[in-house]
Amino acid sequence: MSDLYDLTIHEALDALRCGDITSVALTQAMLDRILAVDNTLQAYLTLTPEAALEQAEAADVLRAEGRDAPLLGIPIALKDNISTQGIETTAGSKILEGYVPPFDATIVRKLKAAGAIILGKTNLDEFAMGSSTEHSAFFPTRNPWDVTRVPGGSSGGSAAAVAVGEALAAVGTDTGGSVRQPAALCGVVGVRPTYGRCSRYGLVAFASSLDQAGPLTRDVTDAALMLQVMAGHDPQDGTTWPEPVPDYSVALSPDVRGLRIGIPREYFAEGLQPDVERSVREALQVFVELGAELVDVHLPHTDYALSTYYLVAPAEASANLARFDGVRYGYRAEGHFETIGDLYEQTRGAGFGPEVLRRIMLGAYALSAGYYDAYYLKAQKVRTLIKGDFDAAFTNVDLIAGPTSPVTAFHLGERTADPLQMYLADIFTLSQALAGIPAISLPCGFDADGLPVGLQLAAPALQEARMFHAAFAYEQATKWWMQRPSISK
């Protein structure tokens, strides 16, 4: 058997069910791996090794009693903007440093109930605002394929941890691409579910009409396993879909004959790195060889997604982040204040990092008197057009394919000086988020520097099974996912 940290969830479950390994051995292997590589990568903000080993022992006891569960004994990591009872949850921000939630997010409660073991909390851009994890208030995470490069973001810690075997899987959040883009840049599978498929209860809110949690995994089977546990209606979140969650495992078939895959010309435009375009076009040919049909589709408002997103999301963020005021939890500025207003301003001015301040300011402006119609309302109208593009395209195709990111992993510091340059890293992941539809990123090759490239498949709302089906077929035919970064050992 290969190193335990190199297993997929389904391989580990097979070994656990046969009694070949124990959850304690598996969890210890992950902790050893973290000890070996995380000084370099810095994927984790918080580790909970003692609690993880206790949970692993408990899982082994249950298994010895003949019990089983979908993730019993599987060690995973959680992005640090997901509330965990008794475990510090910072959202990558100084303003929440030391904050210990008194409750679990619904998805955490579900993952624990399914037997998952929590190894710790992973790094992110502050409040999930960023595309490189460099906006973490604590430290940047590095890409395991080249430690001089970023892992993407904002779920960069989650993606790096899964790529290098510091967790069998991780949970991230995706507001405009924050699961899919780091998955692409780190060579792992990342899923943004349909808006409302997973509960947002207990996620540190960024943009409430866009935020969704999703899994990052080594392969498609694992992604389906994780989403199966995370998805479903939650009385605590009025925006969750009441529809039952289908059995995703039955969708994992290699036969895609007759599947119609839409190829938007807008996704192969100027600015696309040639190696990325080559890898993605080769991936599309694989689908043709498997018997699927490629169909030209038109998403005419694609070019407007960036502007739309960077008005809608900051507007919602400016409202959501109003709660950080130095009164009820988190950081409070030092000193004597004459009024509570002074306390708010000093706490927020010093507690938020530059990218968060930028977005709060942008959002406050877009919502302010005299500018609401021109910015926020206008953006919400264009959002309707963007969603309409997908509705029209999906009348003729089953899925829509393209690159996840226009570029492979860039160097640390390369884009931090110019916010617009950083925002452009998300250009292919924003429109699905605005439309509320699911999408998956999966490894589809490497560029000339040996950096992973991601293929994105998007499906109509609630059609995650269709997306998993095609992704699984591609994965079985190619095996890109089996490549591991050379940081190993």
The least distance separating other proteins from the CB of residue 180, rounded to whole angstroms, comes to 17
Nearer to other proteins, 330 or 443 (CB): 330
The least distance separating other proteins from the CB of residue 487, rounded to whole angstroms, comes to 35
Nearer to other proteins, 39 or 339 (CB): 339
Query: For residue 277, with 0-12 CB atoms within 10 Å meaning exposed, 13-18 middle and 19 or more buried, which class applies?
Result: middle
- Secondary structure percentages of the chain, helix, strand, coil, to 5: 45, 15, 40
The least distance separating other proteins from the CB of residue 454, rounded to whole angstroms, comes to 24
The least distance separating other proteins from the CB of residue 350, rounded to whole angstroms, comes to 8
182 and 175 Cβ atoms separated by less than 8 Å: no
Nearer to other proteins, 332 or 484 (CB): 332
Alpha helices per DSSP H over 114-211: 156-164, 180-186
The least distance separating other proteins from the CB of residue 341, rounded to whole angstroms, comes to 7
Cα distance from N-terminal residue to C-terminal residue, the chain: 16
The least distance separating other proteins from the CB of residue 183, rounded to whole angstroms, comes to 22
94 a catalytic residue: no
The least distance separating other proteins from the CB of residue 352, rounded to whole angstroms, comes to 7
The least distance separating other proteins from the CB of residue 212, rounded to whole angstroms, comes to 11
From the list 23, 155, 178, 318, the catalytic residue is: 178
33 and 164 Cβ atoms separated by less than 8 Å: yes
The least distance separating other proteins from the CB of residue 255, rounded to whole angstroms, comes to 31
Nearer to other proteins, 75 or 436 (CB): 436
Nearest in space to 447 (alpha carbons), one of 482, 396, 405, 416 = 405
Nearer to other proteins, 11 or 389 (CB): 389
Nearer to other proteins, 372 or 446 (CB): 372
Nearer to other proteins, 121 or 301 (CB): 301
390 and 299 Cβ atoms separated by less than 8 Å: yes
Q: Per residue in 346-382, is it b (16+ CB within 10 Å) or e — as a string?
A: bbbeebbbebbeebbebbbbbbeeeeeeebbebbeeb
154 a catalytic residue: yes
From the list 23, 79, 121, 387, the catalytic residue is: 79
Nearer to other proteins, 99 or 446 (CB): 99
Residue with tokens 């509570």: 340
CA distance linking residue 183 with residue 455, whole number of Å: 10
Long-range interactions of 245-252: CB distance < 8 A, separation 24+: 245/197, 246/465, 248/224, 248/464, 248/465, 248/468, 249/221, 249/224, 249/225, 250/465, 251/224, 251/465, 251/466, 251/468, 251/469, 251/472, 252/220, 252/221, 252/224, 252/468, 252/469, 252/472
- Secondary structure of residue 69 in the 3-state scheme: coil
From the list 154, 158, 199, 441, the catalytic residue is: 154
Nearest in space to 214 (alpha carbons), one of 151, 262, 172, 269 = 172
Residue 262 pairs in a beta bridge with 295, 400
- Secondary structure of residue 118 in the 3-state scheme: strand
Cα dihedral across residues 471, 473, 479, 482: positive or negative = positive
Residues with catalytic roles:
79, 154, 178
